Amino acid sequence: MAAKKKTKTKAEEVQNEKEIVEEVTEETAAETTEGEAPGDSDVTEVDTEAEETVKDKSQEKIDELEDKVKRQLAEFENFRKRTEKEKATMFEAGAKSVIEKILPVIDNFERGLATTKEEDKTNPHVEGMNMIYKQLMTELDKLEVKPIEAVGQEFNPDFHNAIMQVESDEYESGIIAQELLKGYTYRDSVIRHSMVAVVS
């Protein structure tokens, strides 16, 4: 009877041990299923590195494109400024060319009016010429075309062209005594130098 009890007890112990092992195995399996599978952390690290590499490459591409856009905008701005400057230069050159062609017409008006006798100044024809001359001068003044002052001024090679020397009791040496052809400036640049006689 005692032997049977012992055997039974041993059998029960073995059975209990089997049950405990099974329980532990099941728990371990459950934990493994719930948690990360073996090697998952390595895969996650690789995925993270790959994502970071892709992000870095994307950022590099974005930076490169932004740099290109900035360069293009800067180039366009420089082109716009250069074009505006060229247009202004061309306009100035065109205006000077037209003004140079008008100046001989003004010279002829001035010569015609200067030779008019005093009694003829009331003549409608002369008055008409005078009105046209004044209108021309007004329009030129609006365009910033100004006559260069000469007689009584000190000779200045930037504005005057001396074509002869004269003696004078009225003016000192180096002073302009006579203006032979009127000079003009356009926006502070000389279109035509004054032709003058300077006191020797």
Q: What percent of the chain has pLDDT over 70?
A: 76
Closest alpha carbon to 168 in 129, 133, 128, 197: 197
Q: What percent of the chain has pLDDT over 90?
A: 40
Hey, is 164 helix, strand or coil? strand
Q: Is the sign of the CA dihedral 72, 77, 83, 86 positive or negative? A: negative
Q: Tens digit of pLDDT for each residue in 118-172? A: 888 888 888 999 999 999 999 999 999 999 999 999 999 999 999 999 998 888 8
42 — pLDDT class (breaks 50, 70, 90): low
pTM of the model: 0.57
Residue 25 has pLDDT above 60, yes or no: no
Enumerate domains of the chain plus CATH numbers.
Answer: 68-143 (no CATH), 145-200 (2.30.22.10)
CA distance 96 to 4: 135
Q: Tens digit of pLDDT for each residue in 84-100? A: 988 888 888 888 889 99
6 — pLDDT class (breaks 50, 70, 90): very low
What's the farthest any 2 CA atoms get from each other in the chain?
Answer: 173
φ and ψ at residue 158, rounded to 5 degrees: -70, -25
194 — pLDDT class (breaks 50, 70, 90): very high
pLDDT at 3: 43
